[in-house]
Structure formats: structure tokens, C-alpha cells
Amino acid sequence: MLVRQATLEDLDQMTALIHATTKKLIEKNVFQWAYPCELDSLETQINNGEVFILEDHKRLIGSYSIKNVESSFPVQIERSVYLYRLLIHPFYQGKNMTQHMFKYLRKEFRKRSVLLDCWAGNEKLCNFYKANDCLFLGDFPEADYKISVFQIGKRGNIVKDDKGYFKKL
């Protein structure tokens, strides 16, 4: 298994991966991502170096994207990045493929905090993050729901200050 940064040569496989995963979610009445995906946006994310892929023998089986944490994100930690659109092709789901991606993230971003989130009511995904050594930071209100925020593999190195902001020890 290899995790690497995506290139524009991966765009077709990346699009197929997103579509297959999104269709599977829609079958389960989970409407997490738009179908079909926005190719212009995906191309921009690849050009910006935000997209990483998991491949096995040149076959794309998973992906995630990383960007700097925006000021509107409920958890602010200096030099943190936000992991979004984590996905595994439906054929490979349940086969522990994400362990390769989490290992890469822990190594490549060891000097930065990697944050990820999900709808607070998604117990399956919350439990998945916890099972992959993600630290639960809390539930935070959004428009009409709450999101659960996690930090990848950094147990014990952050605290909440007196204003409610998270900071590194």
C-alpha cells in the first residue's frame, strides 16, 4: 500500500472513487457528498496539494484531503490542518485500509495537529475514529445540529484554555 499526493493524472480514478463511494452512501440514505462531484473543485484541490490517495498496485482504493483549519472551525489549534473527504472504495471498506492512511498522517503531520469531524449523531463514524486512536475533542453546535471533532493520534498534548479554545501543551 502506498499513500501519496494526488496529481492531475489521478483525476479520472479519483472521480470514479468519489462517485462509487457517494453512490454507496446514498444507498444507505447518507447524503454526505454531492453527486456527481464537482470536477473543477477537485482539480483545484489537487493543484493546491490538498488531495492524497491510497493505492495498491497502481489502483486507487482510498483518498483524503487536507487543508489549513479555517477560522470558522470550532476548534482552533495553532498550525493545525483539517482532514476532509476521507473515503475508501466500497469494495475495500471493512478491510482496515484506513490504517495505512492514518499511519501516513501521523508520520507526515507529526508536528501539526490533524483535526477531523463528523455529524455528532453518526455513532458508527465516531466509534471508527476512536478505534483509530483519534482523540475526541467535543461536540460543537452548527446551524441546526452538532459536529463531533477529533484529533488524530495526539493523546494528551492539548488543553482547553479559560476562553474555551484548544491549545497545544
**Whether pLDDT at 156 is above 80:** no
- The 10s digit of each residue's pLDDT in 92-144 is 998 989 888 999 998 888 888 899 998 888 888 899 888 888 889 999 998 88
Grid-cell match 495553532, residue found: 78
On whether the pTM is more than 0.85, the answer is no
Classify domain 2-168 at the CATH superfamily level. Gcn5-related N-acetyltransferase (GNAT) (3.40.630.30)
Q: State phi, psi for 23 to the nearest 5 degrees.
A: -60, -40
Q: How many helices (H) and strands (E) does the chain have?
A: 4, 9
pLDDT of residue 154: 55
Q: Are 137 and 149 in contact (CB under 8 A)?
A: yes
Spell out the domain ranges in the chain.
Answer: 2-168
pLDDT of residue 155: 47
Any idea which residue has 479519483 for its cell? Answer: 14
Beta bridge partners of 51: 65
Other Cβ atoms within 10 Å of 118 Cβ, number = 18
Query: ∠145-149-154 over CA atoms, to 5°?
Result: 175
For a pLDDT cut of 70, what percent of the chain falls above it?
A: 90
What letters, b where the CB count within 10 A reaches 16 and e where it falls short, cover 5-38? ebeeebeebbeebbeebbebbeeeeeebbeeebe
**One-letter amino acid identity for 154?**
K
Segment 50-79, tens digit of pLDDT:
999 999 998 999 999 999 998 888 888 888
pLDDT category of residue 158 using cuts at 50, 70 and 90: low
pLDDT confidence of residue 74: 86
**CB neighbours of residue 92 within 10 Å:** 15
Alpha helices in 76-149, H assignment, sequence order: 98-108, 123-131
Residue 105, class by beta-carbon neighbours within 10 Å (0-12 exposed, 13-18 middle, 19+ buried)?
A: buried
